[in-house]
Structure 1
Amino acid sequence: MRTRPQPSSPGTTTPAEMNAVVLDRFGAEDELALRRIAVPEVGAREVLIRVRVAGVASWDAEERRGHYDGVFGIPSRFPYVLGWDAAGTVAAVGPEVTRFELGDRVYAASMPVPRGGFYAEFGVVDEEHAAHLPPQLSMEQAGVMAWDALTAQSGLELLDLRPGQTLMVFGASGGMGHLAVQLARHRGIRVLAVSSGADGVALSRAQGADAVVDGRAHDVLAAAEAFAPGGIDAALVTAGGPAAERALRAVSPAGRIAWPNGVHPLPAAAPAAPILSFDGDRGRAALDRLNAVVEAGAFTPHVAQRFPMARAQDAHRALREHYVGKLALLVADDEAAPDSSSRRP
């Protein structure tokens, strides 16, 4: 069942059209264009979000190039709107929605197929994949975190480490990695953060990692041996490649390695410890568990750079450069930017 969006406030209606960053074909950054398209319709159990901030992530670039075309069993349709993460306010709800009301501040983890993502003024998502925004986070922080945080949380739950056990987070200063460090510390796990660059090392230290090594400049295996002489209990890998494959030698054969589906390349040779592949859980219960960590005051997503919608091409070019944490697309920066500056780490 589909309905047109319900009134966003008494006497007003959600517009029929919106500004969005779209693709008319897959390709390079220059294919991204800002123009007006129809606001998505709202299903019975769906929430229409007036987007304030959308996350810009590495998988957006893969999707932009067409590497996800057809992988979800649904044909790609143009104009195609990217964007898996967002925060904003509820603009409309379907008739069967029970958890949200108009005007609620929310964040969400969605999928651009089949009905469009969050590089737009409005985005629609099943209420199961949306959550109320805790007051501890700014709109900007919440807008970039959902998929990475939920995937990191799922990996840690799969590893099921006890307080005091050791974890190596490979890619600890990246989007997923810097959130995994904080989630692990909240669980009382001892964390060796393999970060990138001086800024990445500084971020991981600020977030409470027990030990930090610059994976680009120093010997990760030596750092791991000093951190856990008997072998590290587990690893969470957020970036593949030869450096990750070598670092995994530090994991005890009796340990475990959590490897999110979609992180490439996979190891050419199997490490001694088993690899556990998994997907991020974005259901209501998982969102509730994430919010509990946020509300405990132990979680701060780091936003490295911010781009207005008109500079979406520049945001995607920045994905090819070195940065730590996350990139944000300010869909309505008049509201998003002021409440975020005081909360950045």
Structure 2
Amino acid sequence: MDPNVVPQMNAVVIDRFGGVDELSARRIPLPEVGDDDVLIRVESAGVASWDAVEREGHYDGAFGVPSTFPYVLGWDAAGTVAAVGRNVTRFDVGERVYAATMPVKRGGFYAEYGVVEAEFVARVPGRMPTEQAGAMAWDALTALSGLDLLGLRPGETLMVFGASGGIGHMAVQLARHSGIQVLAVASGDDGVALARRLGADEAVDGRKVDVWAAASDFAPGGLDAALVTVGGETAEQSLRAVKDSGRIAWPNGVMPDPVTSPAAKVFHYDGDRSRTATDRLNAIIEASSFEVHIARAFPMEEVKDAHRALNNHYVGKLALKVV
């Protein structure tokens, strides 16, 4: 254990489910470190749309575990190892790490410290800033799992719908690293610019153009696949551009589900956050120019503003600066 670790920590908690005003700062006990756990001193944590959904109580009971309060949100973080359980030999105190967790039942990362099973902890790649790593894990791993499911070969065509969002802008980069031809459907001029800068072969604003027509121009014989990170009528209509024999990856939690099933097969899935997956992700990061675009990082005391910002237009990711 790092001798600087004290038995209590600063955290953002909710005492009941509800709106933004339920978020409050408080000192609470450090989470217990089990034999197979890593205690992370959090420097940066991701702020995501599902945090707001969880804050409102829509995940209550969804994971088979009763909710307990005070409740700490936050699914992604990066920082340094503060302590390890007695069975953990892969990590040393002081190493830079990132992790994907589930706030139920031991608490999330809107706090100075978070505890995670070692299986779901990875070293931060040497060239990556900790701030970027803190907002990366679930989005990047969900993107990687979706691409694995689609099984595309170099030169085949993929539409990333929601390409300027968290999962989407990472999926663009991972797909291009594999030699896949990417049509990015983004939001806003800044979203289109981001997708192009990150390597998309073509990028369009899904709010301004006929996406189906753009996809047909991009792949006249039909797209080989699509990865959908934002649901809705436009997404549903655009999927007509995927070949009947093609595949569509649709992460669980992306809403709303299609009203009418497209001709191509839709695969619903969860991101893989195992050591095998993070090892693969890190290898890609080290071998490429992969980045996590942080639209804005908020000090922890401005967490309410961070949650309000989730309702506004932004590209990439939002983050909390914990220390």
Class of the TM-score when normalised by the shorter of the 2 chains: over 0.9
> Aligned-pair distance for 1:221?
1.1
Residue in structure 2 matched with residue 43 of structure 1 by the alignment: 34
Corresponding residue of 2:236: 245
Aligned counterpart in structure 2 of residue 290 of structure 1, from 281, 294, 316: 281
Q: CA deviation at 1:298?
A: 2.8
Q: Tell me, yes or no, if the aligned pair for 1:136 and 1:297 is still in contact at 8 Å.
A: no
Match of 2:14 in 1: 23
Matches within 5 A, 1:267-306: 267-306=258-297
Is 1:263 paired with 2:266?
Answer: no
1-structure distance, mates of 2:203, 2:4: 51
TM-score by length of 1: 0.93
- Deviation of 1:136 (Å): 1.6
Does structure 2 conserve the Cα–Cα contact (< 8 Å) formed by 1:17 and 1:38? yes
Matched, 1:86 2:73: no
CA distance in 2, matches of 1:221, 1:116: 42
Residue aligning to 2:87: 96
Residue matched to 2:167: 176
Paired residue secondary structure (2:136): helix
Show the counterpart of 1:254. 245
2:229 counterpart letter in structure 1: T
Aligned counterparts of 2:164 and 2:127: Cα–Cα separation in 1: 21
Q: Trace 1:316-327 onto structure 2 (pairs within 5 A).
A: 316-327=307-318
CA distance in 2: counterparts of 1:220 and 1:158, whole angstroms: 23
How far off its partner does 1:297 sit?
Answer: 2.4
* Contact persistence 1:27–1:66 (CA under 8 A): yes
Query: What is the identity, as a one-letter code, of the residue corresponding to 2:70?
Result: P
1:236: Cα distance to partner?
Answer: 0.2
**1:110–1:117 contact (8 Å) kept in structure 2:** yes
Q: Tell me how far apart the structure 2 counterparts of residues 243 and 125 of structure 1 sit (CA, whole Å).
A: 38
Instruction: Encode CA deviations 1:50-83: one digit per residue, 9 max, x unaligned.
Output: 0000000000000000000000000000000000
- TM-score scaled by length of structure 2: 0.99
SS at match of 1:323: coil
Counting only pairs closer than 5 Å after superposition, residues 106-121 of structure 1 correspond to structure 2 as 106-121=97-112
Distance in structure 1 (CA, Å) of the matches to 2:4 and 2:222: 60
**How far did residue 13 of structure 1 move?**
4.6
* 1:77 counterpart = 2:68: yes
Equivalent-residue separation in structure 2 for 1:277 and 1:28 (angstroms): 29
Q: In the alignment, residue 300 of structure 2 is paired with which amino acid?
A: M
The code of the aligned residue for 1:103 comes to: G
What's 1:213 paired with? 204
- Distance in 2 separating the partners of 1:13 and 1:54: 21
The alpha carbon displacement at 1:222 in A equals 1.2
Q: 1:240, 1:298 → 2: CA distance?
A: 29
**In structure 2, how many angstroms separate the alpha carbons of the residues matched to 1:134 and 1:61?**
29
8 Å Cα contact 1:18-1:121 kept in structure 2: yes
Distance 2:245 2:289 in 1: 30
SS at match of 1:276: strand
Unmatched tracts of structure 1, length 5 or more: 1-6, 333-345
SS at match of 1:234: strand
The reply on whether 1:330 has 2:310 as its aligned counterpart is no
Q: Which amino acid aligns with 2:313?
A: H
CA contact (8 A) 2:78 2:134 kept: yes
Counterparts of 2:165 and 2:113 in 1: how far apart (Å)?
A: 27
Q: Which residue in the other structure is 1:337 paired with?
A: none
Cα shift readout 1:75-134 (whole Å, capped 9, x = no counterpart): 000000000000000000000001101001000001101000000000000000000011
Indicate the RMSD between aligned Cα atoms, in angstroms.
0.6
State the alpha-carbon separation in 2 of the partners of residues 32 and 247 from structure 1: 38
Structure 1 runs (4+) greater than 4 angstroms displaced: none
Whether the 8 Å CA contact 2:177–2:288 is kept in 1: the answer is: no
- Residue among 229, 236, 248 paired with 2:220: 229
Structure 2 segments unaligned to the other structure (5+ residues): none
Are the aligned partners of 1:186 and 1:298 in contact in 2 as well (CA < 8 Å)?
A: no
1:88 and 1:107 in contact (8 A); partners too: yes
Q: Secondary structure at the match of 2:176?
A: helix
Distance in 2 (alpha carbons) for counterparts of 1:125 and 1:247:
39
SS in 1 for 2:5: coil
Alignment correspondent of 2:137: 146
Q: Helix, strand or coil for the counterpart of 2:135?
A: helix
- Equivalent-residue separation in structure 1 for 2:264 and 2:64 (angstroms): 33
Aligned residues: 323
